[in-house]
Amino acid sequence: MMTQSDLDLKETALKEDLKFYFMNPCEKYRARRQIPWKLALQILKILMVTTQLVFFGLSNQLVVSFKEENIVAFKHLFLKGYSGADEDDYSCSIYTQQDAYDSIFYVINQYRHLKNISLGTLGYEHEESGLKICKQQYKRSTMLPSNDTLNIDVSTETECILLKPKELTGKKAELKLNSSFFNLEFYRLIQVEISFKLKGIALQTIHARELPDCYAFQNTITFNNRAHSGKIKIYFDSDTDIQECKDWHIFNSVLQRNTQYILIFDGFVILSCLASLILCTRSIVLAWRLQKRFVSFFLEKYKRRVCYADRLEFLNGWYVLVIISDVMTIIGSILKMEIKAKNLTSYDVCSILLGTSTLFVWVGVIRYLGYFQTYNVLILTMQASLPKVLRFCCCAGMIYLGYTFCGWIVLGPYHEKFEDLNTVAECLFSLVNGDDMFATFAEIQQKSSLVWMFSRLYLYSFISLFIYMILSLFIALITDSYDTIKKYQQSGFPATDLHEFLKDHSSAGYRKDRTSFPFICCCRRQQSDDNLILIN
């Protein structure tokens, strides 16, 4: 059995370790001269990660602009009568059989003379590839609308033809273009799909002192006649694939040197994140060991277990956030280095990793602001209101889903913002925020007076319910949590077992030496604030 003196010594040592663990970096330096390496490293990492993201964003911006400008150029090159702006979710539309034939042969003719008419660095994929045209139609169909007669086999058949670049320049081209394949029976035609692949090289990256990329554009033009409404919608779709240039020679050493400098900088970013990852993981492990010491001692002395809330005080969520950020930054930096060296082209994956990690890094700054009482209100309010807000959102979400399904099924045929569930949800969310209210009311078609009256009742009830009641209650929940936190800051937070355990322990031994830290730790809190700071 442990004697009372040994137990007292153990308790004193444990209280000192607990006090030291829950100190901020400045207090730890004053107490034991422990330099806040994690704080300095986080500040350095913020600067480096943000700089890295800016460089990658500028490079990615060139990629995005090259893709978008090429898609616009393709639409002007291959779509006859393209106005420069899409009509809806499709590019343009035609209404006569002659327009359909003219549009199809216009694509073929433009593809044939691509090298002579294109302003960009475009070329065919290879000589064996070409223009693939497929038509899908019903097997048999007989229609007499005047007699309300219909005889149709709903099974479909698909025919395809391949027009190679060499064939389009020879005498065989006229034979293929005059074949029976191009005799379209519009009453049973479902769609005509024209697909072709083009290659291009982005030279604008050279002006930004970067190595150029090679692109492959898989273009598809679809003449959609599924509705058989007298209107054929023309869709243009382009899938862009960034590829490594197989053989390139650039006679300027500036580009290679610039690439090497950026790769070295990315290497330093990886090293700083790796050091931060090791330090934060070490802190979590030490906190877990300290928690085990406290739980076992509390059970031994007071014969009862520590509550779950006190155990969570040892789990520093900011360290977990930093670890996740570091892992994402390391993976994203490796991908960025491979992209910079033209070994990979995963721009989207790299953007998600670097963007999310930078978000977490900047959010992590709040942890250090939270050491000061005036900046800690946001964190405490979010922490206190989150459970109530989540429960409230679950209840409000049920009403929101009900309005979404109701608006889709009733107003869908009469309003473009209610055509599908995703659009309805976005439209209602905009109404909650006060956007496009008049346009939503005005664009409803008045073909059915019953539906028009229902739309007014539907919109007025939704706006009144969500803006005046649900949104106000949502704000009230957060305001109530804020008032509670302000009251606790004035009268003191509710004491837990961990607070009571540390309350009697004096930290005077840590405050004898008041030598200021040469950097950020020169700013000191007032003694009156010590009892107001939450433990973690």
DSSP string, 179-206: SGGG---TTTEEEEEEEEEEEEEE-GGG
- Kindly report the three-state secondary structure assignment for every residue of 128-178: CCCEEEEEEEEEEEEEEHHHCEEEEEEEEEEEEEEECHHHHHCCHHHHHHC
Report which listed range, 3-7, 35-39, 131-135, 481-485, is most confident. 131-135
Residue 171 pLDDT > 70? no
Range 291-295, long-range pairs (CB < 8 A, 24+ positions):
293/14, 293/17, 294/14, 294/18, 294/498, 294/501
Q: What is the pLDDT of residue 382?
A: 83
Contact 222, 193 (CB under 8 A): yes
Asked whether the predicted pLDDT for residue 369 surpasses 80, the reply is no
Taking the C-alpha atoms of 329, 332, 337 and 340 in order, what is their torsion angle to the nearest 10 degrees? Answer: -130
Residue with tokens 């060296």: 341
Give the percent of the chain with pLDDT over 90. Answer: 23
pLDDT at 254: 60
pLDDT tens per residue across span 21-66: 777 777 777 777 777 788 888 889 999 999 999 988 888 888 888 8
Opening angle at CA 82, ends 79 and 83, nearest 5? 170
214/309 Cα distance (integer angstroms): 56
pLDDT tier at 113 (50, 70, 90 boundaries)?
confident
- Asked if residues 266 and 333 have their Cβ atoms less than 8 Å apart, the reply is yes
Q: Quick check: 535 pLDDT over 50?
A: no
Q: What is the tally of helices (H) and strands (E) in the chain?
A: 18, 7
498-508 pLDDT per residue, tens:
777 777 654 44
Give me the chain's average pLDDT, please: 81
What interhelical angle do 253-302 and 4-21 show, nearest 10?
Answer: 150
Query: How far are the Cα atoms of 29, 38, 370, 476, 524 from residue 380, in angstroms, in the given order?
Result: 26, 23, 9, 16, 21
Give tens-digit pLDDT for 235-291: 999 888 877 777 666 665 566 677 788 888 999 999 999 999 998 899 889 888 888
Q: What angle do CA 305, 309, 310 make, to 5 degrees?
A: 60
Lowest mean pLDDT among 99-103, 123-127, 369-373, 512-516: 512-516
pLDDT of residue 446: 75
Tell me which range, 76-80, 88-92, 120-124, is most confidently predicted by mean pLDDT: 76-80
Over the range 464-498, which residues count as b (16 or more CB within 10 Å of their CB) and which as e? Answer: ebbeeebeeebeebbeebbeebeeebeeebeeebb
The pLDDT confidence band at residue 458, using thresholds 50, 70 and 90, is very high
Q: DSSP letter at 464?
A: I
Question: Which segment of 443-457, 467-481, 489-503 scores lowest on mean pLDDT?
Answer: 489-503
> What is the predicted pLDDT for the residue at 170?
67
Evaluate if residue 534 carries a pLDDT over 50.
no
Residues 6+ apart with CB under 8 A from 145: none
Count CB neighbours of 441 within 10 A. Answer: 14
Q: Which amino acid is at 54?
A: V
* Rounded Cα distance, 424 and 53, in Å: 35
Bridge partners (DSSP) of residue 58 are none
> pLDDT at position 275, please?
92
Question: In terms of pTM, does the model score above 0.75?
Answer: no
